[in-house]
Chain A
Amino acid sequence: MREKLLYLLGAAAILIVARNIYVISGLPGEESQGAIFKIIFFHVPLAITALTCGTVACVASVSFLVTKDFKYDALAVSVTEVGLAFLAGNLITGSIWARIIWGVWWAWDVRLTSALVCWMLYASYLMIRHAVEEPTQRARLAAVVSIFAFIDVPIVILSIRLFRTQHPGPVFFSSTGSFPHDWSMIMMWNLFAMFMLGAVFTVIRLRQEETQRELDSLRRMAHAF
Chain B
Amino acid sequence: MSAVAIEGVWKYYGDFPALRDICLEAETGSCLALIGRNGAGKTTLLRIVAGFSRPGKGQVRILGTPPRETATRRNIGFLGHGIAVYDELSAIENLTLYAKLYGLDRPRQKALEWLEHTGLERVRDGLVREFSRGMRQRLAVARAFLHDPSVLLLDEPFTALDDRAIAVLQRLLREGLAQGKTIVMSTHQLREALELASHVALLNRGQVAFHGPCTPEMASDPGLVYARYGEG
Contact = CB atoms under 8 A, between A and B. Distances in A.
A contacts B directly (C-beta below 8 A): yes
A196 to B, nearest CB: 31
A217 B16 contact: yes
Given A68-B54, A68-B56, A224 B39 contact: yes
Contacts of A70: 14-15
B14 A134 contact: yes
Nearest to A135: B14
A221 interface: yes
A136 B12 CA distance: 8
B147 interface: no
Nearest to A223: B16
A99 interface: no
A216 interface: yes
B16 A224 contact: yes
Contact of A213 (B15, B54, B205): B15
A225 interface: yes
B171 to A, nearest CB: 38
A51 B39 CA distance: 44
Given A68-B54, A68-B56, A224-B39, A135 B205 contact: no
User: B15, B39, B54 — which one has the most chain A CB atoms within 10 A of its CB?
Assistant: B15
Contact of B13 (A68, A135, A225): A135
Interface in B117-174: none
B194 to A, nearest CB: 27
Given A68-B54, A68-B56, A134 B13 contact: yes
A208 to B, nearest CB: 15
Interface string B178-220: 0000000000000000000000000001000000000000000
A224 B14 CA distance: 14
A214 B15 contact: yes
Nearest to B55: A68
Given A224-B39, A225-B205, A216 B14 contact: yes
A220 interface: yes
Contacts of B15: 70, 135, 213-214, 216-217
Contacts of B54: 68
Contacts of A225: 205
Contacts of A213: 14-15
A225 to B, nearest CB: 6
A224 B13 CA distance: 12
Given A68-B54, A68-B56, A225-B205, A220 B39 contact: no
A178 B177 CA distance: 82
B16 A220 contact: yes
Contacts of B205: 224-225
A70 B56 CA distance: 11
Interface in B1-49: 12-16, 39
Nearest to A225: B205
Nearest to A210: B15
Contacts of A217: 14-16
Nearest to A73: B14
B206 to A, nearest CB: 8
A215 B160 CA distance: 38
25 contacts: A70-B14, A70-B15, A134-B13, A134-B14, A135-B13, A135-B14, A135-B15, A136-B13, A136-B14, A213-B14, A213-B15, A214-B15, A216-B14, A216-B15, A216-B16, A217-B14, A217-B15, A220-B13, A220-B14, A220-B16, A221-B16, A224-B16, A224-B39, A224-B205, A225-B205
Interface of B: 12-16, 39, 54, 56, 205
Interface of A: 68, 70, 134-136, 213-214, 216-217, 220-221, 224-225
User: 4 tightest CB-CB pairs across the interface, nearest first?
Assistant: A135-B14, A217-B15, A220-B16, A217-B16
